[in-house]
């Protein structure tokens, strides 16, 4: 694994999606306070009263234009393009507004690779994969992570180096192993990564979408 050989890489945090129950205090305490020099880009449907202490920028409009792809990927792409008008960054952290973060939510910045996207699995093929390396998903009448014969990435929270960002924040899709019932946003994200031959690294993120917090096995 290669890592950037610099002391303080520059970081952009993209908060992209529907606001829902966005908790700026939790984001600040568990993520941004550990990345005090990171710039934050707010690309929500409601960007009022965000109370971010880091330097932040607001994208005021989102205009979906495509069919056949989940609008969140258009929003991601527009947020990323907006970010590029403000500066250059070594890493981009993409997250959802309704994510709830626990202690050590992200891996230490000095471990972030510059040749792979760090993310969790939505579907995994290994029974022993740690909970923090999977997103939490109700499936087949039970709670907990899904285990199937193939892997599929999670699109909720990920870290990408700038060298791969143009391929990650795009709406161009290739192919992925998805059944009709699984032709979902996660499958579309897998297709995007496959289309760009983007390397991935399964990573421990101590975070969960807020609506799943009460059932999350690793919550404090």
Q: Is the CB of residue 153 less than 8 Å from the CB of residue 193?
A: yes
- Residue 94's CB is within 10 A of a number of other CB atoms, namely 26
The residue whose two tokens read 């899709």 is 173
Count of positions (residues) in the chain: 220
Q: Domain 11-215 has what CATH class?
A: alpha beta
- Which structure tokens are listed for 124? 């995994």
- Residue 143: pLDDT band (50, 70, 90) is low
Query: What is the pLDDT of the chain when averaged over all its residues?
Result: 88
Between helices 71-84 and 185-195, what is the axis angle to 10°? 50
Whether pLDDT at 142 is above 60? no
Q: Which element (helix H / strand E) includes 84? A: helix 71-84
- 3-class secondary-structure state, position 190: helix
Q: What per-residue confidence (pLDDT) applies to 60?
A: 81
Query: What phi, psi does 174 have (nearest 5°)?
Result: -100, -125
Whether pLDDT at 4 is above 50? no
Q: Is the CB of residue 50 less than 8 Å from the CB of residue 91?
A: no
Span 15-48, pLDDT tens digits: 999 999 999 999 999 999 999 999 999 999 988 8
Q: Is the CB of residue 122 less than 8 Å from the CB of residue 153?
A: yes
Q: Is the CB of residue 158 less than 8 Å from the CB of residue 119?
A: yes
Average pLDDT over residues 130-152: 73
Residue spans per domain, the chain: 11-215
Q: Exposed (0-12), middle (13-18) or buried (19+): which is 140, by Cβ within 10 Å?
A: exposed
Rounded-to-integer distance, Cα 165 and Cα 170, Å = 9
Q: What per-residue confidence (pLDDT) applies to 134?
A: 87
Span 197-220, pLDDT tens digits: 999 999 999 999 887 766 666 655
Q: What per-residue confidence (pLDDT) applies to 127?
A: 82
Is 0.75 surpassed by the pTM of this model? yes
Span 49-72, pLDDT tens digits: 899 999 999 998 888 888 888 999
């Amino acid at each position: 694994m290669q890592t950037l050989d610099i002391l303080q890489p520059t970081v952009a945090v993209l908060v992209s999606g529907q606001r829902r129950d966005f908790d700026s205090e939790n984001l600040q305490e568990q993520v941004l306070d550990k990345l005090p020099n990171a710039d934050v880009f707010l690309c929500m449907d409601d960007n009022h009263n965000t109370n971010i202490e880091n330097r932040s920028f607001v994208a005021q409009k989102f205009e979906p234009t495509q069919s056949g792809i989940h609008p969140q990927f258009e929003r991601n792409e527009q947020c990323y393009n907006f970010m590029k008008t403000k500066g250059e960054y070594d890493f981009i952290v993409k997250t959802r507004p309704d994510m709830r973060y626990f202690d050590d939510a992200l891996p230490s910045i000095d471990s972030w690779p510059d040749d792979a996207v760090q993310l969790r699995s939505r579907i995994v093929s290994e029974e022993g994969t740690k909970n923090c390396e999977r997103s939490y998903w109700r499936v087949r009448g039970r709670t907990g992570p899904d285990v199937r014969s193939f892997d599929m990435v999670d699109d909720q929270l990920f870290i990408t180096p700038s060298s791969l960002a143009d391929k990650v924040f795009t709406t161009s899709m290739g192919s992925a192993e998805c059944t009709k019932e699984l032709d979902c946003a996660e499958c579309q994200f897998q297709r995007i990564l496959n289309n760009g031959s983007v390397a991935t690294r399964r990573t421990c993120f101590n975070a969960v979408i807020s609506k799943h917090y009460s059932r999350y096995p690793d919550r404090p």
